[in-house]
């Protein structure tokens, strides 16, 4: 397998992009990534596009081909990739595989979703397609319900408090104020968080990521062919995908997601690094308690201490390990198919030293994208090529 680098990145803001067709949102991010990479479009040998619910919400599929056509790319394979909330991360892994295996020398990855135009009922129904509706559907349980249960178990086992989980919200919303692409940055107090609308006890409104539109894109290139690029190439050390249970009852423990634990372990082994080497991580905080659990599953925080570390400032920029300095899903937003690629965009800028909320001296970065009830997970590790 050949070594692979990220040569270019691009992104739209995440938020409300009213009136812009979904393929145009994707084209904006993709064109920015191609310009950032500084390579001719004729060099792109494959396109992978992460998207989850464009069919039910927009009546549009075959998005990869639509986007490639509007970009004027050559007649190359164009594949739409679906893996619920992990769609973007999976699309990236496919592009990495295509380049690493020698099938092509450069590939474009795009993630896109537009959701804010649809009624809440339609969006909820579409997102619930990420569940095993044959088995879990009759219970009426939605994703806030799942993570509400996870929070209760984590609190019972580890003593995790409302104040500790609120620290995650305050950190990420505050980080969002420093990110011009973020949808909902804010300076919040514990009282405001605890007093916001109840969604699914103990989850309050500010514990939940917002509905979002947006797109992000990256260009991956074989490292041996990356000389002369205008930007610092970022090495892809690992791009791992794993499977967890598609059913809520299939999880032996709601305080941990097996797919994340397995993906992280394989990523560290493949990259030859340890959790202590990670300077910055963009992880899947679809709900505040998800960051607590994910940080522990990734080995970045000791088991049971995710909430405590957040409250102590150890996961803030300048702490032990910076988690979600972009604002994460809680503040940046969660346009589902775009999220995994948006995380890569953020980490690439961190490793280049060009992020608006920069982690000083960041050398190794991680992204984590989790789909459905934990049925699909990707973990990627990146490093500055001059490190």
Starting at the edge strand that comes first in sequence, how are the strands of the sheet with 78-81 ordered?
A: 78-81, 47-50, 106-113, 214-222, 4-11, 234-243, 376-384, 364-371, 280-282, 322-323
Of 215, 176, 234, nearest to 11 by C-alpha is 215
Reduced to 3 states (helix: H, G, I; strand: E, B; else coil), residue 364 is strand
Cα–Cα distance list, 296 to 186, 256, 308, 310, 339 (Å): 26, 8, 11, 12, 21
Angle, vertex CA 88, rays to CA 87 and CA 89, nearest 5: 95
Reduced to 3 states (helix: H, G, I; strand: E, B; else coil), residue 378 is strand
Q: Are 181 and 332 in contact (CB under 8 A)?
A: yes
b or e along 60-97 (b: 16 or more beta carbons within 10 Å of the residue's beta carbon)? eeebbbbbbeebebeeeebebbbbbbbbbbbbbbbbbb
Is residue 85 part of the annotated active site? The answer reads: yes
Of 241, 209, 240, 239, nearest to 376 by C-alpha is 241
Four-point Cα dihedral 348, 353, 357, 360, nearest 10: 120
φ/ψ of 147, rounded to 5, equals -80, -25
Determine which one of 94, 251, 334, 355 is catalytic.
334
H helix count then E strand count, the chain: 13, 12
Q: How far apart are CA 378 and CA 113, in angstroms?
A: 18
How crowded is residue 252: how many other Cβ atoms within 10 Å of its Cβ? 8
Of 11, 52, 305, nearest to 323 by C-alpha is 305
Q: How far apart are CA 261 and CA 368, in angstroms?
A: 11
Report the half-sphere exposure of 253 (CA within 13 A, side-chain side): 12
Is residue 129 part of the annotated active site? The answer reads: no
Determine which one of 78, 85, 208, 377 is catalytic.
85
Just list the catalytic residues.
Answer: 85, 334
């Amino acid at each position: 397998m050949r070594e692979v680098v990220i040569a270019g990145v691009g992104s739209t803001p995440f938020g409300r992009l009213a009136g812009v067709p979904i393929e145009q949102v994707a084209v904006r991010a993709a064109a920015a990534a191609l310009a950032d990479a500084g390579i001719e479009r004729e060099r792109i040998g494959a396109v992978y596009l992460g998207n989850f619910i464009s069919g039910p919400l927009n009546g549009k599929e075959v998005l990869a081909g639509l986007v490639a056509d509007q970009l004027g790319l050559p007649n190359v394979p164009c594949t739409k990739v679906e893996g619920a909330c992990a769609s973007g991360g999976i699309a990236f892994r496919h592009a990495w595989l295509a380049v690493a295996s020698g099938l092509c020398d450069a590939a474009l990855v795009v993630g896109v979703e537009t959701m804010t135009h649809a009624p809440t009922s339609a969006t909820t129904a579409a997102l619930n397609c990420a569940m095993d509706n044959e088995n879990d559907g009759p219970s009426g349980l939605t994703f806030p319900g799942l993570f509400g249960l996870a929070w209760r178990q984590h609190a019972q086992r580890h003593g995790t408090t409302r104040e500790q989980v609120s620290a995650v919200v305050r950190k990420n919303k505050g980080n969002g104020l420093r990110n011009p692409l973020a949808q909902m940055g804010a300076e919040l107090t514990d009282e405001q968080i605890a007093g916001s609308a109840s969604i699914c006890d103990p989850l309050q409104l500010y514990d939940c990521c917002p509905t979002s539109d947006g797109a992000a894109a990256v260009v991956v290139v074989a490292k041996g062919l990356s000389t002369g690029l205008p930007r610092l190439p970022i090495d892809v050390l690992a791009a791992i995908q794993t499977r967890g249970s598609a059913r809520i009852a299939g999880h032996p423990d709601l305080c941990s997601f097996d797919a994340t634990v397995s993906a992280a372990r394989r990523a560290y082994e493949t990259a030859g690094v340890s959790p202590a080497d990670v300077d910055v991580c963009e992880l899947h905080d679809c709900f505040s308690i998800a960051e607590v659990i994910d940080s522990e599953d990734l080995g970045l925080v000791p088991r049971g201490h995710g909430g405590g570390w957040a409250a102590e400032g150890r996961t803030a920029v300048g702490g032990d390990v910076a988690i979600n300095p972009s604002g994460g899903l809680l503040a940046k937003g969660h346009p589902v198919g775009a999220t995994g690629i948006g995380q890569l965009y953020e980490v690439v800028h961190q490793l280049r030293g060009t992020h608006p909320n920069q982690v000083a001296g960041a050398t190794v970065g991680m992204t984590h994208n989790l789909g459905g009830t934990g049925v699909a997970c990707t973990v990627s590790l990146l490093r500055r090529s001059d490190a």
